[in-house]
Amino acid sequence: MKVAVASGKGGTGKTTVAVNLAWFLADSGRKVQYIDCDVEEPNGHFFISPHLSQKKPACVMLPAIEQLKCTSCGECSQKCQFNAIVRLPGNTLIFPELCHGCGLCLLVCPAQAISEDEREIGVVATGMGWGGIEFAHGVLNVGEPMPNPLIRMVKQQGLRDHIQIIDAPPGTSCPFIETISDADLVILVTEPTPFGLHDLEISVAVAQARGKSVCVVINRENGSFLPLEAFLEERQLKILARLPEDRKVAEVYSDGELMLEALPDYRKYFTAIAAEVFRQSAELGLTSGGALP
């Protein structure tokens, strides 16, 4: 079972919900893996405290042009939809930072003048964290504009017999879509503000357009925000929990502590979130992490 925790708007509490859900499931004796796909600014490791036993470079394919074989026909440049190749008379230039590593240029070059090279865009690291939580994250190199290939590689670390809690990057464009692309359930964390609602609407639209099952967690609730309630009602979206506005939560978070460890009162909210994960995994016939022996 793959559960993506996402939000649209940044700072709504994705990581808080994701790491505490992982902790809660592990504490209930489930096999859990926490996967941080927020590769531009991963921070789940502060809370799961993994021992990163494996680190490997993440590379993308980069075309290399053999200028002697190149006939300057311009086919590669014309076909590249990312504008990463420029054909000039007698010289073909590649802009690595624009290349998506799709390999189309290799296929279309009639002179076989293009070969595969590779370029490191970041690191994938895995290890064991608190309470037996399996951990995986990716760290994108600074200045690297393209997170998606790294997000794919991080997701490939997923363990089939574990419940995978996938922490998504903020936003609703390519990195978000890549992260949720094979999730069985998408939990959208929102806050009761116009900004939170605006991005929730986009996130719901994108996730549902991808055919995803969507549930909502409202974070930092402080009285009812009617436009949000109306939207959730209209779309018939299931609300798994309403986490109250609470300074203590912010303090615990700022200290890098797990909310559920420091504030046991909050466990009741995660009982409800976990129940939905179990219900949907049973419905789909997917693993819910089983009970550990």
By the criterion CB under 8 A, which residues form the site for another protein? 77, 82-84, 86-89, 91, 93, 95, 98
Task: Indicate the residue among 83 and 271 with the shorter CB distance to another protein.
Answer: 83
Q: How far apart are CA 29 and CA 158, in angstroms?
A: 19
Minimum distance between the CB of residue 147 and another protein, rounded to whole angstroms? 14
Q: Are 158 and 81 in contact (CB under 8 A)?
A: no
Task: Indicate the residue among 83 and 112 with the shorter CB distance to another protein.
Answer: 83
Task: Indicate the residue among 54 and 91 with the shorter CB distance to another protein.
Answer: 91
Minimum distance between the CB of residue 144 and another protein, rounded to whole angstroms? 14
Minimum distance between the CB of residue 78 and another protein, rounded to whole angstroms? 10
Minimum distance between the CB of residue 88 and another protein, rounded to whole angstroms? 5
Backbone angles phi, psi at 16, to 5 degrees: -55, -50
Closest CA to 273 of 188, 147, 175: 188
Closest CA to 271 of 31, 48, 21, 34: 21
Minimum distance between the CB of residue 107 and another protein, rounded to whole angstroms? 20
Handedness of CA 49, 162, 168, 239 (dihedral sign): negative
Task: Indicate the residue among 77 and 164 with the shorter CB distance to another protein.
Answer: 77
Closest CA to 158 of 13, 43, 15, 3: 3
Task: Indicate the residue among 139 and 140 with the shorter CB distance to another protein.
Answer: 140
The amino acid at residue 173 is S
Cα-based distances in Å from 284 to 103, 225, 232, 280, 281: 36, 33, 24, 6, 5
Rg (CA), the chain: 22
Task: Indicate the residue among 89 and 285 with the shorter CB distance to another protein.
Answer: 89
Minimum distance between the CB of residue 83 and another protein, rounded to whole angstroms? 2
